Structure 1
Amino acid sequence: MDNLLREYDSARFAADADPEAGALADWLARRFSDIDCSLQKAAQELGINTTYLSRMVARQWRMPFRQLVNTLRLAYFIQLVLREQNDKAPLEGLGRKAGWANRSTFYGAVKYHTGLTPSELIAIVS
């Protein structure tokens, strides 16, 4: 997880080499937690072809767009858990705040990235 976030940050700050990558990094920083965050929406709002954008993400961040978004959401989810651990906020509510539309995609993304369920992850980071 830390490695993925470091890769995101290093590509983000190397944006002077590719201004469109910088624009995408800024867009993602603002929009990754939107439930409707998608490659198509990013391409439309940035005025970039979706195929070009997809290839740029793979080149800059070495992962597909959806995986990049889920990596950012997972990092944000962990921040929410740590910040709100005394509030005992419902798991699905934190997942929704991080940008996942439903329980199934939330659980699937967390399990894919960490090998743990959200409850197991919370037990480790809390």
Structure 2
Amino acid sequence: MNWIMIAIGLTLLGIALIWYTKYRPKTAVVDRDELDEEQLREVYNKTITLINEEKYFLNKSLKLSDLANELSCNERLVSRAINKHSSGNFNKFINSFRIEYSKDLLIGGKFDHYTIEAIADECGFSNKVSFYNAFKSDTGMSPTEFRAVKQAN
């Protein structure tokens, strides 16, 4: 008899839980989404500041976890902020800073004697192929073509 009462109780509890999840008020979710958006914007802005001021993008072995630790955030939050407010994932985001820096080096005059490999290394790319692929994807031309066009102007 006790087992029957326990089964009936658990069944009623299950029905109540299903009803609650289906019909509970949705306002808490909206407030959380607004909070998430503010939090993501704040984390993204802190990320940009850190990367620009400390030149974190020059670190060849930079990982999302390193950035998250430096920002005192979890990786998922930093990743979501970058995905939401930039034009790609973490790698593409970091490479965009490296490409901008490489453009300055390619046309700056001071680095004219540097090879493309040396520029790639100086900008935080781990190898020439990664640099070429990221640069061409971003600018539509190779680093060599970019340097030639800019020097001709």
| Range class of TM-score, shorter chain | 0.7 to 0.9
Structure 1 residues 31-69: Cα deviation after superposition (integer angstroms, max 9, x where no partner): 112112221210122221111111111222242121111
CA apart distance, 1:18: 3.7
Aligned to 2:62: 37
Deviations 1:46-105 (A, max 9, x none): 221111111111222242121111111111101011213674211111111111011121
> What is the percentage of aligned positions where both structures have the same residue?
23
Which structure carries more relative contact order (alpha carbon 8 Å, separation 6+)?
A: 1
Question: Does the 8 Å CA contact 1:78/1:125 hold for their aligned counterparts?
Answer: no
Which ranges in structure 2 are unaligned for 5 or more consecutive residues? Answer: 1-37
Question: Unpaired runs of 5+ in structure 1?
Answer: 1-14
Q: Which one of 77, 87, 100 corresponds to residue 125 of structure 2?
A: 100
* TM-score where L is the length of structure 2: 0.64
TM-score, normalised via structure 1 length = 0.76
Q: Is the 8 A contact 2:68 2:74 kept in 1?
A: yes
Runs of 4+ in 1 over 6 A off after TM superposition: none
Distance between the aligned counterparts of 1:25 and 1:110, measured in 2?
20
Amino acid in structure 2 at the alignment position of 1:27: L
Question: Which has the larger displacement, 21-30 or 89-98?
Answer: 21-30
Highest CA radius of gyration, 1 or 2?
A: 2
CA RMSD of aligned residues (A): 2.3
